[in-house]
Amino acid sequence: MEAKKPYLIAVVIQLIYAGMFVVSKAAFDHGVNTFVFIFYRMAAASLLLLPVAITLQRKNVRSMSMGLLLKLFFYALIGNTFSLNLYNVSMKWTSATVASASSNSMPVIAFCLALLLRMEAVSLRSRSGVAKVAGVALCAAGVLVLAFYAGPALSPVTRRRAAFFAAAHHATDKHHPASGGTAWVEGAFFMVLANVTWALWIVLQSALLKEYPNKMLVTVTQCVFSMTQSFVVAVVAERGDFSEWKLRFDISLLAILYTGFVVTGVSYYLQAWCMEMKGPVFLAMSNPLCFVFTIFCSSFFLGEIVHLGSIVGGALLVAGLYSVLWGKSREAMESEAEGMEDHAPSSMDEQA
């Protein structure tokens, strides 16, 4: 049973993220302001994590220098505030399925950024290098398909919606643009841009954690910074109109509590546990499950029409993801084999 735990946890993580896409999309279709939503989400996450950090990490807080705090402020700005605001606006313009599909491009984008920053290398003379380049090409093709090709409508799950979500989705026709329209295309590329900033945050975060390896304090500090930044962004975007800030006991409150507590709190712990047991590649390999779960959940709960273009584009993104991961895995195996050969005793040493 212990051997199966990482696989079960990986499935639970992807279910949590599928739920995030569905409830967030339902809240946006219900008229929730995306900028205000991010503020409340980061506030909920801060309320959850800050007391835990104060209790467990009081002694380590003093070790945070002004330079480190400035870095965390900048990382919170690009990785949370800017990325999440852009992501939610783009989801409002497209669909939960497209949002879930595009998330598979994030590891590929992170690899491209690492390549530009000379943290990765590619050799076209090796199979691993060819696989990486092919993965990037497949990822680019998937994004173009999501943006420009709608295709026939599919209905994999009954379109009958649960009563709780029906009220949240009654305005879909007004808020949800047609596939392939201008707003849809812009939303798809904004989503890619959001993934680029998120991938940049991951690359920078990995370097920061080597400098300051306290994950709890790094996460909590960025949540608090992002909450403050998101408040300023929402006030400026809404020009001081605080009528948008009212919380109602409907799908919007559920989405805020879910994304703040379950996604940021529970999934953070589960991801850390899963990566510690199996490594980050194992978790990335499970990403396509979220795409599958989101297709069925958005169709069943939201009555969302899934188009063939979304399926094809998502499949290309998944293929690109696996191609890059396979290339990195093979490269690691080749490097390990070369290391063993370098440390192997020569015949002269054996005779001696």
Please state the rounded mean pLDDT for residues 30-43: 90
pLDDT at 51 over 80: yes
pLDDT at 159 over 50: no
Tokens 């409002």 correspond to 92
Each residue's pLDDT tens digit, 181-227 = 678 888 888 888 888 888 888 778 878 878 888 878 888 899 999 99
Each residue's pLDDT tens digit, 236-282 = 887 767 777 888 888 889 999 999 888 877 887 787 677 667 766 67
Q: Tell how far CA 118 is from the center of its chain.
A: 23
CA dihedral 54, 56, 58, 60 (to 10 degrees): -130
- Cα separation of 343 and 277, whole Å? 28
Report pLDDT for 352.
Answer: 47
- Cα separation of 139 and 132, whole Å? 11
What percent of the chain has a predicted confidence (pLDDT) above 90?
A: 18
Tell me which residue of 5, 34, 50, 12 sits closest to 261, measured CA to CA: 50
Q: Look up the pTM and report it.
A: 0.78
- Cα separation of 224 and 226, whole Å? 5
Report pLDDT for 76.
Answer: 93
Tell me which residue of 100, 103, 111 sits closest to 135, measured CA to CA: 111
CA dihedral 311, 156, 171, 35 (to 10 degrees): -40
Tokens of 45: 């996450």
Each residue's pLDDT tens digit, 3-30 = 778 888 888 988 999 999 999 988 888 8
Residues 6+ apart with CB under 8 A from 242: none
Report pLDDT for 180.
Answer: 54
pLDDT band at 165 (very low <50, low <70, confident <90, very high): very low
- Cα separation of 92 and 168, whole Å? 13
Per-residue burial over 180-207, b = 16 or more CB atoms within 10 Å of its CB, e = otherwise: eeeebbbbbebbbbbbbbbbbbbbbbee
Residue pair 39/236 in contact (Cβ under 8 Å)? The answer is: no
Tell me which residue of 82, 344, 32 sits closest to 201, measured CA to CA: 82
- Cα separation of 334 and 337, whole Å? 5
- Cα separation of 245 and 252, whole Å? 11
pLDDT band at 98 (very low <50, low <70, confident <90, very high): confident
Q: Tell how far CA 61 is from the center of its chain.
A: 28
Please state the rounded mean pLDDT for residues 152-156: 69
E-assigned strand segments in the chain:
153-154, 306-307
Each residue's pLDDT tens digit, 301-338 = 777 778 888 889 889 989 988 898 888 888 778 777 76
Report pLDDT for 342.
Answer: 60
Please state the rounded mean pLDDT for residues 48-60: 83
pLDDT at 176 over 60: no
Report pLDDT for 175.
Answer: 47
Residue pair 324/109 in contact (Cβ under 8 Å)? The answer is: no
Which comes out higher in pLDDT, residue 139 or 162? 139
C-alpha R_g of the chain = 22
Per-residue burial over 61-88, b = 16 or more CB atoms within 10 Å of its CB, e = otherwise: eeebeeebeebbbebbbebbbbbbbbbb
What is the average pLDDT score of the chain?
Answer: 81
